[in-house]
Amino acid sequence: MTQKTLSLWIRATRPQFFTIIILPILLGTAIAWHSHGVFLTFYFGLALLAGILTHASSNVLNDYFDKHADALNETPLSPFAGGSRMIQKKILTPSETYRYGWVLLIGAISIGLFLVWTRGLPLLWIGLIGILSGYFYSAPPLSLQSKGWGEIIVGLDFGVLAVLGAYYVQTQQFTLAVIFASLPLAFLVAAILYINGFPDYAADKQAGKNTLIVRLDKEHARPIYGLLIGFSMLSIVMGVLYQFLPLLSLVSLLAFPLGIMAIKTLYAHYNDTPTMLIPAIKNTIMLHTIVSGVLIIAFLG
């Protein structure tokens, strides 16, 4: 039995993907600073910790509920696809994984309830949607990813709700501008999940996990990835035109050749050895990071 070190427990949460939750929280906080000149350090720290714990719990519980599909995945592009492999490598047992996911989730809920008490009841509804959709993303009886809802759920949770929640923690307000500012990140995080699904296609299909890519088949699923990249770019342009985003946000468009290259790679290699998609997956993650960073700087500038 492998010794359960702290680094092992951290690795089980797939921390290399935490930027996906950290960046939208930073963006919501930056918008609050831009619009109200407010930065509450203590509440920012709590919101960030709650977000990371929620993301970590979703990753761990996803490993538990997807253990059969992940076991069928013969060519996982770890760390990009196929889960953490902790169960498959017998580093953690399924029961340990499930309990650990719940410990992380309870930590996130505890911090969230404190923020609801101190900052306002509307955070309860954001938290409920985030927690329930994150849990039932993989968990039965809903298993939303198996019904083709995975990308929508991820875009909502790691795009709109994360930005809006972080903004509310600082300002105790909601605005249309904040929702609009979250859309580029929502589309891009959905694109990350979507392209990661191509290497998992065969295992997901065999396990009866009917993701959107499985439902469409790989060839016919390709255009949706291009649409997600395109909608992200369009939302930035429209956000600037309607003054929801600062003019400096347009600088982020310089990063979109990464998305174009990823689209070309997907179209060329969607049915080849899964490792051929690694450049496209990396470009999608890099595009999300750069666009997020530019938007944050634009609001702080």
Exposed e or buried b per residue across 83-101, where buried means at least 16 C-beta atoms within 10 angstroms of its C-beta: bbbbbbeebbeeebbbebb
- Are 181 and 31 in contact by the 8 Å Cβ rule? The answer is yes
| pLDDT above 90: residue 103 | yes
Domain segments of the chain as ranges:
6-300
Q: Which fold does the domain 6-300 belong to in CATH? A: Farnesyl Diphosphate Synthase (1.10.600)
- Are 92 and 71 in contact by the 8 Å Cβ rule? The answer is no
- Are 193 and 178 in contact by the 8 Å Cβ rule? The answer is no
pLDDT tens, position by position, 229-263: 999 999 999 999 999 999 999 999 999 999 999 99
Q: What length is written for the chain? A: 301
Neighbours of 123 (CB within 10 A): 23
Q: What confidence score (pLDDT) does residue 66 get?
A: 83
pLDDT tens, position by position, 105-149: 999 999 999 999 999 999 999 999 999 999 999 999 999 998 999
* Arithmetic mean of pLDDT over the chain: 93
